[in-house]
Amino acid sequence: MDLELLCGELIVSAGEAKSCYIESMAASREGKFDEARKMIEEGKKAYLAGHKHHAKLLQLSTEEDFTITLLLMHVEDQMMNCESMEIVAEEIFALYQTILKEV
């Protein structure tokens, strides 16, 4: 698979996952916990799809003429950012469950 196409697929997967995590946090704030949990799970699926592309990228990186580009660095940044967003979404979910139970 072409490096640029692979990077594009990764960016799309990470972007979809991050959007799901953000939607989850908004739903948690409104007390819509079933919807929030669903969005976290959708985000995890999108992130997993990104990981499959990432594995292909790692295989490409073993080639002798592999060059690290700015696009590749952007992809890695998006994947790490997405992983952090999942952790934050889970924490926000738990926090709002606790806060809204006590109100």
Q: Catalytic residue positions?
A: 74
CB 45 within 8 Å of CB 29 = no
Q: Residue 47: CB partners within 8 Å, gap ≥ 6?
A: 13, 14, 17, 82, 83, 86
